[in-house]
Amino acid sequence: MSDSVARLDDVTVTVETRLLEVLAQRRARSRRFSAPYMQLWDSLERMARGGKKIRPRLLMDAYRALGGTDDRVALDAACAIELLHIALVIHDDVIDKDVMRRGEMNISGQFASEAMLRGTTRRDAHAWGEASSLLAGDLMLTLAHSLLARLEIPDEQRQSVLDIFDATVFESAAGEHYDVWLSLHLEPANPQDVLAMVDQKTAAYSFQAPLVLAAVLAGAPTSVIEELAVIARQIGVIYQLRDDVLGLFGDERDTGKSVLSDLREGKETLLIAYARSDPAWSEVEPLFGTEALSIADGHRLRRVIEESGALMFVESLITERCESVSQLIQEASLPAALREQLTDVTAACNLRSS
């Protein structure tokens, strides 16, 4: 286990080094433009530092386990996935009008607060923060595409890699769009809809893309690619369900996020979709999605959700999914090292506290 941790850390460092190398080129080039543009690249560099690098690690480890030997190629694909993740996170914050992420100011927050200190109105400052984030996301998305398009691999393989990446962006956007749609509450969201959204929004890019790209780059047979795709989606849903539980019932010191923020946002999670069927929900429903939600009302909402059985329902669904994915992993025709890795990842997705 300590061996495996050391190996994972090693990959994290390698990925971060390459990522910073790619960003440094652009950062240097930004010096020819405006001072705020240079600052934008500084912020992007800070975002690329640290973080768990779950997705690149998944890709690199799977690539090696599947017998891939060109680490340079896998590394750039891994960086592309991380850049896509950064782009999606930045644009997700714009969509949610968030100025904080994991307890720190995000790009919108940094740029808005600096402009306010320099004397702009609150409104202008927010518009400036949002514009900066929107462009930052575009730049990260461009960088992701750029790395993949330049992979030195045979033409046929490149076509597959590009197809996978396109389909991933397409599906993540579909999931994000559906997420915002559901939070408008124009039509009742049933648990199936929420699960489909979660699957599109997170599982596709966070788990399926890294594993499938690894398999394609390692030259794995189609059967392996298909097995990995199915397993990845299941793990992705577990990851997201745990995320939703942590968002409402997690320890704020671990998650770096207020347990009120999803409630204030009116985020349509599986917990909410389930709680809606409880008669007690109608009493607290007006509180859900109100920006000025008080701590006391937040507690009230969380109590109703818990007492509706939603928490138990989601926890048992997570357990059920963990069992079914374990079985899939054991039955799959994968190398032992990869089976072990996937088992570890599943457990980590379930047991994490942040």
Tell me how far, at minimum, the Cβ of 307 lies from a copy of itself, in Å: 28
Residue 136's Cα: distance from chain center in Å?
Answer: 17
Q: Give the position of tokens 């579909």.
A: 174
The DSSP bridge partners found for residue 104 are 101
User: In the numeric block, which tokens belong to residue 95?
Assistant: 């969509």
Q: Spell out the residues 6+ positions from residue 136 whose beta carbon is closer than 8 angstroms to its own.
A: 40, 43, 44, 90, 107
Which residue spans within the chain are E strands per DSSP? 100-101, 104-105
Task: Note whether 246 binds a copy of itself by CB under 8 A.
Answer: no
The single residue among 2, 3, 34, 286 that binds a copy of itself, judged by CB under 8 A, is 34
Residues in contact with a copy of itself, counted by CB under 8 A, come to a total of 53
* 89/91 Cα distance (integer angstroms): 6
Question: Does residue 36 belong to the site contacting a copy of itself (CB under 8 A)?
Answer: yes
Out of 176, 227, 244, 268, the residue judged to bind a copy of itself by CB under 8 A:
176
**95 contacts a copy of itself (rule: CB under 8 A):** yes
Least distance in angstroms from the C-beta of 189 to a copy of itself: 11
Rounded Cα gap, residues 310 and 273, in angstroms: 8
Question: Considering the rule CB under 8 A, would residue 33 count as an interface residue with a copy of itself?
Answer: yes
- Contact between 162 and a copy of itself (CB under 8 A)? yes
Question: Which lies closer to a copy of itself via its Cβ, residue 183 or residue 350?
Answer: 183
Distance CA 145, CA 203 (A): 20
160 near a copy of itself, rule: CB under 8 A: no
Query: In the bound complex, what is the minimum distance in angstroms from residue 153's beta carbon to a copy of itself?
Result: 11
Q: What share of the chain is helix, strand, coil (3-state, %, to 5)?
A: 80, 0, 20
The residue from 7, 20, 27, 37 that contacts a copy of itself (CB under 8 A) is 37
Residue 24 binds a copy of itself, judged by CB under 8 A:
no
For residues 230 and 321, the answer to whether their CB atoms sit within 8 Å is: no
Q: Which of 104, 166, 252, 254 binds a copy of itself (CB under 8 A)?
A: 166
Q: How far apart (Å, rounded) are the C-alpha atoms in residues 263 and 268? A: 9
What is the spatial distance between Cα 14 and Cα 258, in angstroms, rounded to a whole number?
32
Piece of the chain touching a copy of itself by CB under 8 A; list 129-137, 227-235, 236-244, 345-353: 129-137
* In contact, 191 and 244? CB cutoff 8 Å: no
Q: Does 113 bind a copy of itself (CB under 8 A)?
A: no
CA neighbours closer than 13 Å in the CB half-sphere of residue 13: 6
Stretch that binds a copy of itself, among 163-171, 211-219, 304-312, 328-336 (CB under 8 A): 163-171
**Which stretch, 35-43, 99-107, 206-214, 304-312, contacts a copy of itself (CB under 8 A)?**
35-43
How many CB atoms neighbour CB 317 within 10 A? 17
Kindly report the length of the chain.
354
Backbone φ and ψ for 127, nearest 5 degrees, come out as -60, -40
Q: Is 195 in the site for a copy of itself (CB under 8 A)?
A: no
Out of 4, 17, 69, 142, the only residue in the binding site for a copy of itself (CB under 8 A) is 142
CB of 336 to a copy of itself, least distance (A): 35
CB count in 10 Å sphere of residue 314: 23
As given in the structure block, the two tokens for residue 160 are 């597959």
One residue of 8, 58, 141, 153 binding a copy of itself per CB under 8 A: 141
Is residue 199 part of the contact set for a copy of itself (CB under 8 A)? no
Verify binding: residue 171, a copy of itself, rule CB under 8 A. Answer: yes
What is the SS3 assignment for 74?
helix
* Footprint on this chain of a copy of itself (rule: CB under 8 A): 26, 29-30, 33-34, 36-37, 40, 87, 91, 94-95, 97, 115, 118-120, 124, 127-128, 130-132, 134-135, 137-139, 141-143, 145-146, 148-150, 158-159, 162, 166, 169-171, 173-174, 176-178, 180-181, 184, 186, 200
